[in-house]
Amino acid sequence: MESRRSSDLGLFFEPRSVAVFGSLRQGDGEGYVVIDNMLKFGFTGNIYPVNPSYSQVLGIRAYPAVNDVPGPVDLAVVITPPATVAGVIRQCAQKGIRAAIIVTEGFAETGEAGARLQEQVADIARSHGMRLIGPNTIGIINSANGLVTNPYRIGYDRVRRGSIAYSSQSGVIGASAQPLEDRAYPISKMCDFGNKCDVDEADWLDYLVHDAETKVIAMHIECVRGGRRFLDVLRRVSDSKPVVVLKAGRTEPGARASASHTGSLAGSEKVGNDVFRQFGAITVNTLQEFWDIPKVFASQPLPGGNRIAIVSPSGGTGVMAIDAAVESGLVVAQLTRATLDRLSKFPANLARNPCDVGPSMVLSEDRQSVQETALGALLGDANVDCAAIALYAGPIGSITDTANIMDELRQRVSKPMAIWIYGPKLSMREDLALRLEAMGLPTYLELQTAVKALAVAAEYAQARLDRSRVEGFSQ
C-alpha cells in the first residue's frame, strides 16, 4: 500500500554506498564539504561524487551522472540548486536509489513557490517508493560508521559512539553548531528533519525503537504533522526507551516563527508539553537540558526509587542540590545506621546527607580516601537509589586521583550517578569531564541539571513500573 510505507530508515543510516550531488569546488563546494566530512569522520562505505565538471575529488573518482556509477547506491545526498533537485531525484529513482537526503534550502520555508517545488520533488520520490529526508536539512549522523552528511565545515572529526539519538528541526542542533567532540556526547544517531516533506518524527521513533545502538531518544520538535500517529508511536516507544522532548514553538509567537522557517503548513496540530508528557515523553525546556539530561539514560541504570544521596566538597553546594532534588520530585535519602557509623570516623563529621566531604578532605592526611569512602558508603546504602556528585577539578589535589576514584566506584556500584564538575579553570573541568565521560559517567555543566536528570530517570522508571503493573492486571 502506497500510503503505508516502511519506517525502516536503515538505508539512510547504514548505507553501503552514498552518491553526493553538489558543487565539488575545492574547499567550500557543498558537495566537497559533505564528502570531506564523511572522509574525516571515517565513513566506511563507498562514496560516489556525482558532477559532470569533475573527474575526481579528494582522491575519489567522480561520475558525470549517477547512472554511470558502477554497482548499487543506497543513499543520495543532494545539495544542488532548488530548481535542479527534482531532476536529480528522478535520476536517483532511475538508478534504483531508495533513500535521499535533500540538503538544499529554498523550498517550502521560502514561500508558495518553494512549497510547490517541494511537493513536486516529494511526488517524484513517492511514485518511485523513494524516501526523503529534508529538504532544508543539515542531514544525519551515524556514529557507528562515520556517516556525517553535514554540509558545513565542522572543525573536529570525531563523534563519540554512544546510545543517545538526537533529532531536530534545526541546524543549530548538529555537528557544525555543537561541540559534540569537546563535550563527548554519547551519540548513536542524529537527524535534522528539515522541512519534513517525507520522513518525520514518527518514522524516526519507529526506526529507533528497534535500533540496538539507541537507548534513549532526544527530540527537538517544532511541529508534528499527523499528530495522532506520532503520539501513538511515542506512547509505544517510550514504554521501552525514554523519549526526551524539547518543544520549540511552545508560545504562539514561537509557533508562528516556526511555521515560517521550516515551511510547515498551517494545520499542523498544536501539540504541547502536556500532551507529550501524557503520551510518555519527558519534556525539557532549555537547550542545555536537551543535550545533557538524556545522558543519564545512556550509561546509567534506572534508579530503583527516588531517594537521592548528595556528595559534595562544599556545604553550600549540598543545599542547592537538595533544593533542585526536592523541586524535581526526589527525596533526600535517610542513611542507614551502618552508613552513619562508617562516616562518623572522619576528622570532620561526614555522617549526613548531603555529605560535605570538604572539611574532612582539608583536615585529612589522605584527601582522596575521604572522598572514596564517602562515595562508597553513600552509594552502598540500601536507602539510596541514586547520587548527585559534585566534583572539584582544579589546582588542589589531583584530577587523575579523582578520575581513578570514580572509575573504581562505577565498577562496583549499580546505581545511577550524575556528576557536576566545578572549579576555577575551565580546562581542568573539561579534562575531568572528558575522562569521566569516557568511563560512561554522565557529567553536567550545571548542578541543577545533574540533579534534574536523576529525578527524570526516577520518574521514568516509576512510570514504566506503573504501566507494566496495569498491563499485568489487565491480562
Q: Is 323 in the site for a copy of itself (CB under 8 A)?
A: yes
Q: Which is nearer to a copy of itself, 92 or 390 (CB)?
A: 390
Q: Which is nearer to a copy of itself, 105 or 381 (CB)?
A: 105
Using CB under 8 A, which of 317, 373, 402, 443 touches a copy of itself?
Answer: 317
Using CB under 8 A, which of 345, 425, 438, 471 touches a copy of itself?
Answer: 425
Q: Is 445 in the site for a copy of itself (CB under 8 A)?
A: yes
Q: Which is nearer to a copy of itself, 73 or 330 (CB)?
A: 330
Cβ 309 vs Cβ 325: under 8 Å: no
Q: Is 396 in the site for a copy of itself (CB under 8 A)?
A: yes
Q: Is 395 in the site for a copy of itself (CB under 8 A)?
A: yes
Q: Can you tell me the distance from the alpha carbon of 403 to that of 282, in angstroms, rounded to the nearest whole number?
A: 31
Q: Which is nearer to a copy of itself, 428 or 463 (CB)?
A: 428
Using CB under 8 A, which of 58, 275, 413, 428 touches a copy of itself?
Answer: 428
Using CB under 8 A, which of 17, 23, 91, 110 touches a copy of itself?
Answer: 110
Asked if the peptide bond before residue 179 counts as cis, ω within 30 degrees of 0, the response is: no
Site string for a copy of itself, 44-83 (x = CB under 8 A): ----------------------------------------
Using CB under 8 A, which of 227, 422, 459, 462 touches a copy of itself?
Answer: 422
What are residue 78's phi and psi, to 5 degrees? -115, 120
Site string for a copy of itself, 124-163 (x = CB under 8 A): ----------------------------xxxxx-------
Q: Is 472 in the site for a copy of itself (CB under 8 A)?
A: no
Q: Which is nearer to a copy of itself, 87 or 179 (CB)?
A: 179
Q: Is 272 in the site for a copy of itself (CB under 8 A)?
A: no
In one letter, which amino acid is 290? F
Using CB under 8 A, which of 119, 182, 366, 471 touches a copy of itself?
Answer: 182
Q: Is 264 in the site for a copy of itself (CB under 8 A)?
A: no
Closest contact distance (angstroms) between CB of 248 and a copy of itself is: 5
Q: Which is nearer to a copy of itself, 32 or 48 (CB)?
A: 32
Q: Give the chain as a 3 state SS string.
A: CCCCCCCCCHHHHCCCEEEEEECCCCCCCHHHHHHHHHHHCCCCCEEEEECCCCCEECCEECECCHHHCCCCCCEEEEECCHHHHHHHHHHHHHHCCCEEEECCCCCHHHCHHHHHHHHHHHHHHHHCCCEEECCCCCCEEECCCCEECCCCCCCCCCCCEEEEEEEECCCCCCCCCCCHHHHCCCEEEEEECCCCCCCCHHHHHHHHCCCCCCCEEEEEECCECCHHHHHHHHHHHHHHCCEEEEECCCCHHHHHHHHHHHCCCCCCECCCHHHHHHCCCEEECCHHHHHHCCHHHHHCCCCCCCEEEEEECCHHHHHHHHHHHHHCCCEECCCCHHHHHHHCCCCCCCCCCCEECHHHHHHCCCHHHHHHHHHHHHHHCCCCCEEEEEEECCCCCCHHHHHHHHHHHHHHCCCCEEEEEECCCHHHHHHHHHHHHHCCCCEECCHHHHHHHHHHHHHHHHHHHHHHHHHHHHC
Cβ 331 vs Cβ 308: under 8 Å: yes
Closest contact distance (angstroms) between CB of 180 and a copy of itself is: 7
Q: Which grid coordinates are listed for 47?
A: 562514496
Task: Please list every residue from 78 through 107 that binds a copy of itself, using CB under 8 A.
Answer: 105
Task: Candidates 52-60, 198-206, 274-282, 386-394: pick the segment binding a copy of itself (CB under 8 A).
Answer: 386-394
Q: Is 303 in the site for a copy of itself (CB under 8 A)?
A: no
Q: Is 368 in the site for a copy of itself (CB under 8 A)?
A: no
Count of CA atoms in the C-beta half-sphere (13 A) of 153: 5
Q: Is 283 in the site for a copy of itself (CB under 8 A)?
A: no
Of 193, 169, 18, the C-alpha closest to 99 is 18
Q: Is 446 in the site for a copy of itself (CB under 8 A)?
A: yes
Q: Is 220 in the site for a copy of itself (CB under 8 A)?
A: yes
Q: Is 334 in the site for a copy of itself (CB under 8 A)?
A: no
Q: Is 447 in the site for a copy of itself (CB under 8 A)?
A: yes
CA angle 341, 310, 454 (to 5 degrees): 135
In DSSP terms, 196 is beta-bridged to: none
# binding residues, a copy of itself (CB under 8 A): 80
Using CB under 8 A, which of 426, 470, 472, 473 touches a copy of itself?
Answer: 426
Task: Candidates 40-48, 88-96, 348-356, 407-415: pick the segment binding a copy of itself (CB under 8 A).
Answer: 348-356
Q: Which is nearer to a copy of itself, 7 or 360 (CB)?
A: 360
Task: Candidates 19-27, 44-52, 141-149, 252-260: pick the segment binding a copy of itself (CB under 8 A).
Answer: 252-260
Q: Which is nearer to a copy of itself, 66 or 458 (CB)?
A: 458
